[in-house]
């Protein structure tokens, strides 16, 4: 996705980034090979390793734990509304991801 790698790199300079993804083991290997920007994340939490997936509350609990922050001090970004709503219900700040410019704009307003 154009602009995402630069945004992730920039955010990682001042923020602890945690990836929470619903993915199977095979696809996760493909994703890792194609996206070196994953190296800018402090933690990579994937459902195939966690044994739990979004929108389960346990997945979000583990993400906030990995971020070493309470949910209200975390921004959860996802392109699936059911996940955004689940995170919001647990106290996370949220952003429904549609595109990189929209996320940049939301971050500037935060």
Question: In the prediction, which pLDDT does 48 show?
Answer: 96
The pLDDT tens digits for 3-33 are 999 999 999 999 999 999 999 999 999 999 9
**Alpha-carbon span 43 to 68, nearest angstrom:** 11
pLDDT(110) > 80: no
Beta bridge partners of 15: none
**Alpha-carbon span 102 to 39, nearest angstrom:** 23
The closest alpha carbon to 46, from 34, 63, 64, belongs to 63
The pLDDT tens digits for 64-94 are 999 999 999 999 999 999 999 999 999 999 9
| Domain boundaries along the sequence of the chain | 4-109
- Is omega for the bond preceding 55 within 30 degrees of 0, making it cis? yes
Architecture, CATH, for domain 4-109 = 3-Layer(aba) Sandwich (3.40)
């Amino acid at each position: 996705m154009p602009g995402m790698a630069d945004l992730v790199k920039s955010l990682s300079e001042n923020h602890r980034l945690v990836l929470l993804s619903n993915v199977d083991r095979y696809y996760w290997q493909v994703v890792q090979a194609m996206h070196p920007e994953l190296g800018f994340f402090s933690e990579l939490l994937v459902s195939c390793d966690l044994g739990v997936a979004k929108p389960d509350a346990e997945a979000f609990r583990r993400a906030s734990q990995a971020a070493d922050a309470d949910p209200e001090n975390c921004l959860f970004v996802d392109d699936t509304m059911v996940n955004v709503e689940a995170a919001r219900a647990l106290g996370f700040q949220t952003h429904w991801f549609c595109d990189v410019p929209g996320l940049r704009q939301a971050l500037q307003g935060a």
